[in-house]
Amino acid sequence: MRLFQKTNFNFIRHRKIAYAISFILLISGMVSLFVRGLNYGIDFKGGSEVVIRFDKPVDVGSVRSIMMQAGVNGSVKQYGLDRSLLLKTDFQGDTSQLKTLITNALSSRLPANPSRILSVQAVGPSIAADMKLSAIKALAAALVGILLYVSIRFEFKFAAAGVAAIFHDVLTVLGMFSLLGGLFDFMPLEVDQSIIAAFLTIAGYSITDTVVVYDRIRERLRGQKPSDYERIFNESMNQTISRTIITSGTTMISVLILFFFAGPAIRSFAFAMFAGILVGTYSSIFVAAPIVFDWQSRSKNPIKLRGA
Amino acid sequence: MKNNSFKLILIAVVALVSVWSLWPTWRDYALTKQLKSYHSKEDSLKFSIDHRAEIEQVHEKSLKLGLDLRGGMHLVMEVDILDLIDQKAWNKDANYYRIMANVRNATRNSSTNTVELLASEFGKENIRLSRYFYDMRDSDQDIVSRLKKEEQDALMRAREIIRNRIDQYGVAEPVIQTQGSQRLIIELSGVTDEARVRKLLMGTAKLEFRLVKEPQVLLRAIERVSSVPLQAPLQAQATPAPADSAMAAASGTATSPTPAAVPAIPPALPAPSAVVTKKLSDVIGMLPNGQVFTPAYARDAVTAVLKRQDVAALLPQDTQLLLSAKPEQTASGEKYYLIYLVQKTPELTGGVITEAKATFSAQDAQPEVLMSMNDEGTSKWARITGANIGKQIAIVLDGAIYSAPVVQSRIPSGNSVINGIGSLDEAKDLEIILKAGALPAPVKILEERTVGPSLGSDYIRAGMLSMIWGFTTVAIFMIIYYNKAGIAADLALVLNILVVISVLAGFSAALTLPGIAGIVLTMGMAVDANVLIYERVREELAEGKSLRMAIDAGYNKAFSSILDSHVTTLAAAFLLYVYGVGPIQGFAVTLMIGTGASLFTAIVVTRVLFDLFIGSSFMNEKSFG
Sequence-ordered list of residues with C-beta below 8 angstroms from that of A41, at least 6 positions apart, any chain: A188, A190, A191, A192, A193, A195
Lowest mean pLDDT among A123-132, A209-218, A260-269, B488-497: A123-132
3-state SS, one letter per residue, for B274-290: HHCCCEHHHHCEECCCC
- The rounded distance, in Å, linking the Cα atoms of A233 and B329 is 88
Q: What is the ipTM of this complex?
A: 0.91
User: What CATH number was assigned to the domain covering residues A15-41+127-298?
Assistant: 1.20.1640.10
pLDDT 10s digits, A222-252: 878 878 888 889 999 998 888 889 999 999 9
| Per-residue DSSP letter, B601 | I
User: What CATH number was assigned to the domain covering residues B72-202?
Assistant: 3.30.70.3400
pLDDT 10s digits, B44-72: 888 888 888 888 888 888 888 888 888 88
pLDDT 10s digits, B379-405: 888 888 888 888 888 888 878 888 888
SS3 B432: helix
- The rounded distance, in Å, linking the Cα atoms of A123 and A125 is 7
Q: Give how far Cα B50 sits from Cα of A60, B23, B276, Å.
A: 52, 20, 66
Please say whether the beta carbons of B293 and B339 come within 8 A: yes
Chain B CB contacts of A205 below 8 Å:
525, 565, 568-569, 572
| Per-residue DSSP letter, B233 | P
Q: Which residue of B has its CA nearest to A153?
A: B564
C-alpha of B393 from chain center: 36
Sequence-ordered list of residues with C-beta below 8 angstroms from that of B133, at least 6 positions apart, any chain: B85, B88, B89, B90, B143, B146, B147
Q: Where are the alpha helices (DSSP H) in B215-342?
A: 215-225, 271-275, 299-307, 309-312
CATH class held by domain B203-237+257-440:
alpha beta
Q: At what angle do helices B140-169 and B114-124 cross, to 10 degrees?
A: 150
CB contact under 8 A, A262 and B568: no
Domain B454-624 has CATH 1.20.1640.10: yes
The Cα of B10 is separated from the nearest Cα of chain A by a number of Å equal to: 27
Torsion region of A82: left, alpha or beta (phi above 0 gives left; psi -120 to 50 gives alpha): beta
B204 vs A138, higher pLDDT = A138
- The rounded distance, in Å, linking the Cα atoms of B510 and B588 is 12
Q: How confident is the model at residue A272 (pLDDT cuts 50, 70, 90)?
A: very high
For chain B, which residues make up each domain, given as ranges? Answer: 1-62, 72-202, 203-237+257-440, 454-624
- The rounded distance, in Å, linking the Cα atoms of B153 and B534 is 58
Q: Where are the alpha helices (DSSP H) in chain A?
A: 15-35, 42-45, 60-69, 95-109, 125-153, 156-180, 193-221, 229-261, 264-283, 289-298
Please say whether the beta carbons of A116 and A106 come within 8 A: no
Closest CA to B183 of B162, B204, B205, B206: B162
CB contact under 8 A, A197 and B584: yes
CB contact under 8 A, A262 and B466: yes
Residue among A207, A247, A260 whose CB faces B568 most closely: A207
Average pLDDT estimate for A55-75: 85
- The rounded distance, in Å, linking the Cα atoms of B597 and B192 is 38
Please say whether the beta carbons of A106 and A98 come within 8 A: no
CATH class held by domain A47-123:
alpha beta
Q: How confident is the model at residue B432 (pLDDT cuts 50, 70, 90)?
A: confident
Tell me which of B202, B568, B624 to substitute to probe the interface with A (most A C-beta atoms closer than 10 Å): B568
- The rounded distance, in Å, linking the Cα atoms of B156 and B162 is 10
Sequence-ordered list of residues with C-beta below 8 angstroms from that of B372, at least 6 positions apart, any chain: B353, B354, B355, B413, B414, B415
User: What confidence score (pLDDT) does residue B530 get?
Assistant: 92
The Cα of B218 is separated from the nearest Cα of chain A by a number of Å equal to: 34
- The rounded distance, in Å, linking the Cα atoms of B8 and B99 is 70
CB contact under 8 A, B531 and A92: no
For chain A, which residues make up each domain, given as ranges? Answer: 15-41+127-298, 47-123
Lowest mean pLDDT among A106-120, A270-284, B486-500, B590-604: A106-120
Sequence-ordered list of residues with C-beta below 8 angstroms from that of B404, at least 6 positions apart, any chain: B212, B340, B392, B393, B394, B395
| pLDDT exceeds cutoff 60 at B374 | yes
